[in-house]
Homo-oligomer: A and B are copies of this chain.
Amino acid sequence: MTIKISIDCMGGDHGPSVTIPAAISFVNREPQAELILVGLEDVLHAELKKHKADKHPRLSVQHASELVEMDDPVEVALRRKKDSSMRVAIEMVKDGKAAACVSAGNTGALMAVSRYVLKTMPGVDRPAICSILPNQKNGPTYMLDLGANVDCEPHHLHQFAIMGSVLVSAMEGIARPTIGLLNVGTEEIKGNEVVKSTAKLLREDHERGILNFYGNVEGNDIFKGTTDIIVCDGFVGNVTLKAVEGLGRFVKDVMTSEFKRSPLTMLGALVARGALKNIGKRFNPSRYNGASLLGLRGLVFKSHGGADSYSFEWAIKRSFDAAKYNVQEQLSTLIAELMPRTPDQDLTGSTSK
């Protein structure tokens, strides 16, 4: 049986010229995958034809007449573009026609439309964005939230920890992934009030055997790979992620210009091209493309807006893997079991099961 993934083919800076080649490459690589390409049907058919893939048995087109621009306000994406490729792709997940969806559209709109269409999972107050970064142990460090929630209370961070734990457990096959709480120092007395209260909740869960809480971690622990998961609020996560991406680009630019500076340095780069290739591969942000929107009643993945087709294919792969490993089902089961009743829910009267 195939696993169906819906793809918002119009999203991102480059639209179908990136999303279609990525989809073709992935479907050819993965015999279990079936991809539903969502967007302006004429444009998508033309792009498929261009790549001689218009008759691929595991690629189909789903028409959507509108598209969410990268600078569209959330309001516009949500209320005025009800037949956008983004929304139609998400609705396919809701209707059970796809097991997951991927979009390179703008993050705010994708989160808002996903929340509106799919709704939040029972027991979860706020969905979070979870992505991965490379670490020195040659594995991934999962980090959340990366920008969905700029003002967080301790019980929100607590929920992020639970969701992250379930995700990593399913995606990486780690029974009890370790959780670090991002802080300004490792000692218990460090940090602001929100972080200190969160640590208390996480320690309680650790003692009850529910979570594998390592304790406080610092910014450099992301790359040391001290824990499998790092939990933080969306403000800190977003700023940190963009700062490290910025440094990465800076280093890459300086390396490129320095190795191109003279015939001698170019020769050196040629001789040591194996080393340079490995360095590039190790830090290639494309390999880490594909962030999960966690805590919704369906799997939604977000690609970088500027992704090229190699990079977008990684986002498709990540959503396919999440569907294959039944991440959604595992999240539902475990969250219903683990998630405590929260203050927000007490107020609204909804239940945690």
Binding site for B on A (CB under 8 A): 134-136, 147, 150-151, 182-184, 190-193, 195, 218-224, 232, 234-236, 238-251, 253-255, 258-259, 261-262, 264-265, 267-276, 278-279, 282-283
Q: Which B residues are CB-close (under 8 A) to A234?
A: 184
Q: Which B residues are CB-close (under 8 A) to A238?
A: 184, 218-219
Q: In the assembled complex, how far is the CB of residue A236 from the closest CB belonging to chain B, in whole angstroms? A: 6
Contact of A247 among B223, B255, B272 (CB under 8 A): B223
Q: Which residue of B lies closest to A193 (CB)?
A: B151
CA distance A240 to B247 in the complex (A): 11
- Assess whether A247 is in contact with B247, with CB atoms less than 8 Å apart: yes
CA distance A5 to B119 in the complex (A): 62
Can you add 13 more A-B contacts, CB < 8 Å, to A220-B245, A240-B240?
Answer: A134-B250, A147-B184, A182-B239, A219-B241, A219-B242, A220-B246, A222-B246, A223-B249, A235-B236, A258-B276, A258-B278, A259-B272, A269-B272
Interface SS majority for chain A:
helix
Q: In the assembled complex, how far is the CB of residue A148 from the closest CB belonging to chain B, in whole angstroms? A: 10
- Assess whether A275 is in contact with B269, with CB atoms less than 8 Å apart: yes
Q: Which B residues are CB-close (under 8 A) to A265?
A: 271-272, 274-275
Q: Which B residues are CB-close (under 8 A) to A193?
A: 151
- Assess whether B150 is in contact with A235, with CB atoms less than 8 Å apart: no
Known: A219-B239, A242-B218. A275 touches B253 (CB 8 A): no
Instruction: Please name 23 pairs of A and B residues whose Cβ atoms are closer than 8 Å in the assembled complex, sorted by A.
Output: A135-B250, A136-B250, A136-B253, A183-B239, A184-B235, A184-B239, A219-B243, A221-B246, A222-B243, A223-B249, A223-B250, A239-B240, A243-B243, A244-B244, A251-B279, A254-B278, A258-B276, A259-B275, A265-B271, A265-B275, A267-B271, A268-B268, A269-B275
